[in-house]
Amino acid sequence: MTLVPKGYRFAVAAAGFKKADRNDLGLILSVGPAVAAGVFTTNRFQAAPVLVCKEILADSPVARAIVVNSGQANACTGEEGLANCRATLDIVAKAARVEPAEILPTSTGVIGAQLKMDLWAEAGLKLAGSLGRATPMDVAKAMMTTDSFPKLVGRSVQLSGGEVRVLGMCKGAGMICPQMATMLGFVLCDADVDPRPWREMLSAVADKSFNALTVDGDTSTNDTVLALSNGASRVRAESKADLELLRQCLLSVCQELSYRIVQDAEGGTKVAHITVCGAKSHPQAEMAARAIGNSPLVKTALFGCDPNWGRIIAALGRSGADFDPREVVLKIGGILVFENGQPSPEDLDALLAPCMRHQDVQIELVLGQGRGTFTLLASDLTKRYVEINADYRT
C-alpha cells in the first residue's frame, strides 16, 4: 500500500472535458496551510495555469490545494484563457471551502482550445461530493492523457523528531524533454519545514530527476511540478542533517517517477541510462548526453535492439561538447565498445546482443577532460510513438 502523508484529502470528478464517464478533474487538499514550491516549463509559450500558478506562488509561501484537469491544456488562449483559469479557481474554492488564491492550478491536453467553462460548475459540485472519498491513485489516474499507467510513489524517512512521509504522482509519456516536459508532477509531504529550504530543495531535486530525462526532445507549454509540505506529522525538518535526509527522500521519489515516465514513453520499449563523465564541466556532460538521448538514429537503434554504436559516437561528435576524440571511451552494458579512436576488436554484435534486448540499456561515455558528469534517462523511438502522435487529435 502506498504511503500517504498526513493531512491531505483527495477528490476526483468526471467532467466530460474530452471523454464521457472518465475522471478528468482531480483535487488535492491540505487540511491546513502547506509551504508550497513549484518548478515550471521554460517554454516561452506558457499556459494560463502556469502563469497563474507562478503568480500565486510569488505572492504567498503557502497554499492549500492543487487542482488538475486533463483534456484541456488552456495554453495559447490569451487573456480569455487567463480569465477562465481564475474562474475555475473560484469554482474549486467553493468545493474545497478555501480561498481561490490558496489553490494552485494545472492543466494538460491539446494546445489552443479554450476551457469548456459550461462543464466546470457541475464538475465543482462533483468534486465537493468526492472530497475525502477519493484516493491519491484516483487523482493520478484522472490526470492521465496518453499515459498507459498511473505513476504514484510513496516513501518515508526517519528524521530526528520522527517519521515523515513523501508521496509523489505524475503524468507524462510524450512531448517529454525538460526543462521541463509535458508532465505534471505533484509531491506531498507532512514535514514541518520552512518555505525557503523547501523551494530550494525542489529546484535542486528537479534538476536531477524531472530535468534529466527525455522521450522525444519536445518541451511543452504546461510543464509543472508542485510540492506541498503541511507539517501535519508535527516533525520539524530544520537541522542540516534532517534537511539532507528529507532532500534524499524527495530525490528518491522524483527519480522513481522520472524513470516511470521514460518507461511509459508513448510506445516505448527501452530506457537508456546515458552517463557521460570526464567532461570539462557538468553542462558539457549534459550537452553530450542530451545529444545522444535525443538522436532519432540512436533511439531507433535502441528500438531495433541494434548495437549500432557508431550512432552514439556520431551524436557525441555533433553535441558541441569539447573533447579529444582519442580520449573517448564508450561502454554499452558494461562492455567496452570504443577507445583510442577505434572500436574494440571483439565481435561486438554478438557481445552486445543480449544487453540490447533488455528494457534497461546502460550507455557510458568517458571523455577524459575533467570532472563533469551527467546522467540522462532516454526512451527509444517506436512505430507506436508515430501512430499515437499522428492520431493525437483525431
Q: Please indicate whether residue 182 is annotated as part of the active site.
A: yes
- The torsion angles phi and psi of 368, rounded to 5 degrees, stand at 70, 30
The single residue of 182, 214, 224, 382 carrying the catalytic annotation is 182
- The candidate with the shortest Cα–Cα distance to 208, out of 37, 36, 39, is 39
SS (H, E, C) the chain: CCCCCCCEEEEEECCCCCCCCCCCEEEEEEEEEEEEEEEECCCCCCCHHHHHHHHHHHHCCEEEEEEEEECECCCCCHHHHHHHHHHHHHHHHHHHCCCHHHEEEEEECCCCCCCCHHHHHHHHHHHHHHCCCCCHHHHHHHCCCCCCCCEEEEEEEEECCEEEEEEEEEECCCCECCCCECCEEEEEECCECCHHHHHHHHHHHHHCCCCCEECCCCCCCCCEEEEEECCCCCCECCCHHHHHHHHHHHHHHHHHHHHHHHHCCCCCCCEEEEEEEEECCHHHHHHHHHHHHCCHHHHHHHHCCCCCHHHHHHHHHCCCCCCCHHHCEEEECCEEEEECCEECCCCHHHHHHHHHCCCEEEEEEECCCCCEEEEEEEECCCHHHHHHHHCCCC
Residue 118 contacts residue 78 (beta carbons within 8 Å): no
Residues tagged active-site? 182
